[in-house]
Amino acid sequence: MIEANANIDPLVIGGKRLQSRFFLGTGRFPSPAVLQLALEASKAEVVTFAVRRVNLDDAREDSILQHMQERELTYLPNTSGANNADEAVRIARLARAAGLGTWIKVEISANPRTLLPDPLETLRATERLAAEGFVVLPYTSDDPVLCKRLEEAGAAAVMPGGAPIGSGLGILNPYNIGLIAQESRVPIIVDAGIGSAGDVVQAMELGADGILVNTPVAKALDPVGMAQAMRLAVEAGRLSYLSGRIPRRQYASASSEAEGVSKPALSLDTDNNGNSARDVKLDAAIAAQGENAAREAAVALASDIRQHAAEAADAGKELGGIG
């Protein structure tokens, strides 16, 4: 079901058709061997890494990239460490010249403590790089207006953060993420802040087209197991989103509809206000004759109820003997 769904619901970015909606970062893993196992478990087709950590003189011999050459992967180098648009553009050009392709994740932090993206510099870098033919995926805040501006600037996909990078806080503002996904005409890849597979499902059910994670996999007690869990969460969340959840209701709603259900063989009548006959009689007796008369009426009604119950039981036995 999931594989068939991926064939009819592919993720397309920059003209490239992807079967996996799970993007994986390559930093902070315990070892290259664990990274390889996690990558295999994730089934990710797009991997990201900081250009400043790559040996651009010979990318093929880089300590990270040399372990990925046998896989059919799309590289998404990022401009982590850039402080402004000029630096981000320079880094992107260096990555392309080193043979790392034309995909680039624009990442410009405004504050070294929070690592939150600089909105103005990110927008400027996106405009310039898109004009130069790059497939630009800018990392940004969960601001619906800014995400729309980045789309208009030429971004091939937009990557709003669910929470600060590496925080594991999950989706802090689900309303904004849902609104961004609803209004965007380009893919929305939620990036940063994810802490668990549950966060992944939530983001996908909000309408995100994909997820990018690094720390929650690399720093998990079992990175390989977490990579698999998050891959399944992406698939489950996407399928749930496409299938359509039921609307939220303030009150309970019975799973069995009242229409078409047989009425009891015998029942007490009710008035227009839904009051039973015994309640009506009792209220009338109290109003007309006082407490003693009401007591007598209650005794009589109790006798009637027992009689009704006995008749109903007999009717049930007769129905049970049919056939």
pLDDT tens digits for 139-189? 999 999 999 999 999 999 999 999 888 888 999 999 999 999 999 999 999
pTM for this prediction: 0.75
Binding site, annotated residues for 1-deoxy-D-xylulose 5-phosphate? 166, 192-193, 214-215
| CATH class of residue range 2-243 | alpha beta
Measured between alpha carbons, how far is 248 from 145 in angstroms, rounded to an integer?
A: 27
At residue 67, what is the residue type?
A: H
* Look-up of token digits 């046998």: 70
Cβ(150)–Cβ(159) below 8 Å: no
Residue ranges of domains in the chain: 2-243, 277-320
Binding site, annotated residues? 166, 192-193, 214-215
Taking CB atoms within 8 Å and a gap of at least 24, the contacts of 86-94 are 88/121, 88/125, 88/129, 89/125, 89/128, 89/129, 89/132, 91/51, 91/52, 92/51, 92/125, 92/129, 92/134, 93/132, 94/51, 94/56
Active site residues: 105
pLDDT tens digits for 238-295? 999 999 988 888 888 777 766 665 555 444 455 566 565 556 655 665 566 666 665 6
Q: Which residue spans within the chain are E strands per DSSP?
A: 11-13, 16-18, 22-25, 46-50, 74-78, 103-106, 135-140, 159-160, 189-191, 210-213
